[in-house]
Every structure is written in structure tokens, then in C-alpha cells.
Amino acid sequence: MPKLLSQFFDRLNLVYGDRSFFVRLKARLLATVTLLVLAFVPLNIAKIVWIEAPVIVPRVGINLILAAGCVLCLWSLFKGRLDRAGNRLALTMTLAVHVMVLIVSNSTKALEPLSTAYQIFAFDFVILLVAIVFAARWVATVVFAMTAVGLGGFYIFMLRGASLGPSVRYAADTLMRDGLLSMGFVFVLGIALVQMTEAANQRSEETLRHSDSMNKDLMRMEHQARILSERRRELLEIQREFISMVSHEFRTPLTTIQGAHFLLEKLHTESPNPSRSVAENAEKWLKLQASGLKTLSKLVDQVLMLNRIDHMTGEASLEQLSPAVVLVETVAQFNNSMDSPRVVLQNDMPIGFTASMDSRLVKAATENVISNGLKYSGLDKPVQVRVYTEPDGWAVEVVDQGMGIPQEDQAMLFQPFFRAGNVGTVPGTGLGLAIVQRAVDFHAGRIEFESSKNAGTSFRLHFPGTVRPPVGDAAPGLEPLVSGQ
């Protein structure tokens, strides 16, 4: 039995789980009262049968009707209709008691009419409390009217005509007069108390909702503050790394250029007609100067490109172009600048395929990935480039056989100025992959990569077929979707 009751109330909690605490408590109380009344019915029937009371069949029938009302009350309760359940229980109990009194009064002469009056008064008092607490206002009013009429009718038709002694008559008159007054007082006071309780509950619910709203706002503000703090920390770290990089990377080519320029000036001043050896030295210094200028120019171009992408909105030039043509031009630029071409292009594009793109950004992305593949691979190792279509767009895959990316560095790979720990003395700025990510993100694409240390790296840049330029500043880049061991 305890297990059944526990399951019963657990199911009730599920039905009213999203309601307020006040409603949940009210539902549990109504269920408890209904179960008590339902348990009372078989006991009362057993008592009627045991003592062989007059009009036994109608009495049993009324009790069965009361049981049916309790079952309907529980059914409404588990349907989530709390007010309807309370209405059914209050009306059923009122009708059962007063129909029982009517049947008994019309069928038999009560042996102890005053005792019957006390019983009716006790039942009506309980029923009135149930109606006030659990039923609607109009139902509670109907119940009060029915109990008042029932008690008044019993007094008029039973007690006044009964043969009672003076003291018993006085008790009967007092019961009816003071009893009706006390029930009226309980009715008014109960309605007022229930209204006050509901008002207080509503106020507490509003306060709770306001508190929850404030807590959510505070949590949102705290989350935004954490994001801003983290962003500020990242910006400060980037600024620190940028200054450190500029102080080192910019100084080296500038020092080279300044030294070459000084030597050339000295050569020009001291040797108006230079010899062959002097001319060779001058040519060597000029090459050093050109190399420094090239490095400095590339670094400045990458910084400007990254900044331009980060603040690019509608200025992007989106056109319907052939990705194959763009990749052929990009690969040709690399191969034409090398004595022995190392970039191998595999074109798996269908003839006539075009896609919406900004050719400058696509070239910048593919150039940086190919350049990294060449830079971090041996001089005899080729870099494989494949361009192909996908169901929702197209993609470029670049595979090298270089030193690979350590597992511990892969999470930070697309951060500006970040360089993996195994690059050694290979020159670089750490901006290439940041540019790749910004360019791909601008096209609403995605990046995947797989890499193993000393076993090469594979990058896949996925682009959609149709691109809409973003509104406002470019969004921060996405994290790589795949990383190898």
C-alpha cells in the first residue's frame, strides 16, 4: 500500500510539475481528501449492511454515487483540471448527504432526530470547508446555500414536529440557529482567507518570476563580462605578440636593407669605376637588400590583408567564377617562380562549374596553405592540390609531406601570430593560417585539417556554392573541425 500511494503521488507530481508550489500543494491535499472519502465509502456501506438500517438499498446507492464522484474527481485531477476536480467532489458530497437525509426523512421516522441533525451539521461543515478550499467560488456558494436549505428543511420538517422534551427542544433550536450563523461566518471567513492566500501566492509567484528574470539577466551579464574579459585578454596577448614580432621580424629586414644601403653608398663614394669583384659584391648586397624588402613587403601585406578581412562587409567583390580557373592561376604562380615545379594540381571540377566567391580572398587562402606546404616540406617533396565539387558547393584539398603539426599546438593553429613549436628557424609571421580562416569564414565555409608530426598535413577548405556578404564586422573564425593525431 505505501508503494502504491508513493507511485500515486509521484504521478500527480508529474502532472503538476510545471505549476507553482501552491497549486502542487493544493492538488496533493485534494487527492488526499478524495482518497479518505473514497476509503470511507466501503466502511459506511459495511456499517449499513451490518446494522440492517432502514431503506438499505437507497443508502448503499447514495454511497456508490459518492464513490463515483470521488473517482471522477481523481480523473479530473490527473488530467490537470484542479478546479473541476474540486467542484465535482464538493457537489457530489453535498448531494449525497442531503439526498440521503431526504430519503431517510421521507421513508422513516427518525428515532433520534437531534442526533441526526448533529450528524448532518458535522458533514455539512466538512463539505463546506472542502468547497471553500478546493472548489470555485460559485460552487462554494451553491454548497453553502444547499447546506443552509438542507439544515433548515430538516429543522422545519423533522425537528419541529418531533416530540421533544423542553431541554432537547432548546438544544435543537440552538443548534439550528447558532449552527447556521456559525456556518455563514465560516463561509465568509473561509472565502476571505482563501482569497488572501491566493493573492499572497500570486504576489510571491510574481516576485519569484522577477527574481528569476533578474538572476538570468545577471547570469547573462556575467557571461558577457567573461567574454569581454577573455576577449580583452586575447587582444592584449595579440598586441604583446605583435609588438614582439614587429620588433624582431621588421628589424631584421630593415637592418639588412640599412646595411646594404650603407655599403652601396660607401662603394659608390670610394669606387667611381668599380672592378669586377666590387661589382660582384655590389650585386650581392643588392640581392640582400631585395630579399629584405621582399620579406618586409610580404609581412606588411599579410598584416594589411588580415586587417582588411576582419573589417570587410559589402566591399567584397562576389562574382560567379570558376574555382578551377582560380586554382590553376594560383598554382601557376608558385610553379613559375621555382626552378623545379613542386605543386601538382588535380582538377576534378566539371566543365562550366562556377561558384559565388571573392577571388582575392580565395587566392589568399589557397596561396597561404600551399606556401606553408612548400615551406615546411623538403625541397624534393611535392605538394598535392585537388579542387573538386561537393553537394553544397566546392572544396580545395592541399596535402604536403612536411614536418606536420604537433598535437598540442593544433588547438591554437588559427590564432594570429601563433607558430607551432617545431618550426625551428623556418621564417614566418604566424599570420598565414589566420588569413586562411578569415577568408573561408567570410564565404561561410569551413576548414578541416589532419596532421601527424613528421608525417605531413592535409588541409581541406570547403566553400558553399552561393555566398551572401556578411553585415557588419566579420565574425570570429570557426575552430578546425578535424584534427589528426
What CATH code is carried by the domain that includes residue 392? Answer: 3.30.565.10
Residue type, 39: A
Residue 92 belongs to some domain of the structure: yes
> What pLDDT does residue 106 have?
55
Residue 94's nearest CA partner among 43, 44, 37 is 37
**Residue 216 CB-density burial (10 A; 0-12 exposed, 13-18 middle, 19+ buried):** exposed
Does any domain span residue 261?
A: no
∠ Cα 159 163 164 (to 5°): 75
The last residue of one of the domains, among 163, 186, 205, is 163
Is 209 inside a domain boundary?
A: no
Instruction: Determine contact, residues 110/168, Cβ cutoff 8 Å.
Output: no
Burial class of residue 320, CB neighbours in 10 A (0-12, 13-18, 19+): exposed
Task: Report residue 242: phi and psi, to 5°.
Answer: -65, -45
User: 3-class secondary structure for the chain?
Assistant: CHHHHHHHHHHHHHHCCCCCHHHHHHHHHHHHHHHHHHHHHHHHHHHHHHHCCCCHHHHHHHHHHHHHHHHHHHHHHHCCCHHHHHHHHHHHHHHHHHHHHHHHHHHCCCCCHHHHHHHHHHHHHHHHHHHHHHCCHHHHHHHHHHHHHHHHHHHHHHHCCCCCCHHHHHHHHHHHHHHHHHHHHHHHHHHHHHHHHHHHHHHHHHHHHHHHHHHHHHHHHHHHHHHHHHHHHHHHHHHHHHHHHHHHHHHHHHHHHHHHHHHHHHHHHHCCCCCHHHHHHHHHHHHHHHHHHHHHHHHHHHHHHHHHHHCCCCCCCEEEECHHHHHHHHHHHHHHCCCCCCEEEEEECCCCCCEEEEHHHHHHHHHHHHHHHHHCCCCCCCEEEEEEEECCEEEEEEECCCCCCCHHHHHHCCCCCCCCCCCCCCCCCCCHHHHHHHHHHHCCCEEEEEECCCCCEEEEEEEECCCCCCCCCCCCCCCCCCCCC
Residue 231 lies inside a defined structural domain of this protein = no
- Candidates 307, 314, 431; CA nearest to 371 is 431
Is 221 part of a structural domain of the chain? no
The per-residue pLDDT for range 30-70, each reduced to its tens digit, is: 888 888 888 888 887 887 778 766 667 777 887 888 888 88
Q: What is the pTM of this model?
A: 0.44
Q: Which domain holds residue 446?
A: 315-464
**Using an 8 Å Cβ cutoff, are 358 and 326 in contact?**
no
309 — alpha (psi -120 to 50), left (phi > 0) or beta? Answer: alpha
- State how far the Cα of 128 lies from the Cα of 224, in Å rounded to an integer: 56
| Domain assignment of residue 244, yes or no | no
Q: Which of 116, 138, 472 is nearest to 312 (CA)?
A: 472
Give the torsion through C-alpha atoms of 338, 344, 349, 352, to 10 deg. 30
Final residue belonging to a domain, choices 131, 163, 195:
163
For residue 40, being part of any structural domain is answered with yes
- The string of pLDDT tens digits covering residues 378-422 is 778 899 999 999 998 999 999 998 888 888 878 888 877 777 767
* Number of folded domains that form the chain: 2
Beta bridge partners of 318: 358
The amino acid that residue 279 corresponds to is A
Q: pLDDT value at position 10?
A: 80
* Distance, C-alpha 432 to centroid of its chain: 35
Blockwise average pLDDT, block size 10, the chain, 485 residues = 75 81 85 87 81 71 84 88 87 80 58 70 85 87 85 73 70 78 86 84 82 88 89 75 63 71 70 68 73 70 67 66 93 88 92 90 91 83 93 93 83 76 68 86 90 86 78 39 33
Give the whole-angstrom CA distance, residue 332 versus residue 413. 27
Backbone angles phi, psi at 347, to 5 degrees: -100, 105
**Who's near 453: CB < 8 A, 6+ residues apart?**
403, 404, 405, 406, 407, 422
Is residue 270 one of the residues assigned to a domain?
A: no
CB-count burial class (<10 Å; 0-12, 13-18, 19+) for 384? middle
Cβ atoms of 453 and 422 closer than 8 Å: yes
Q: Which of 163, 193, 213 is the last residue of a domain?
A: 163
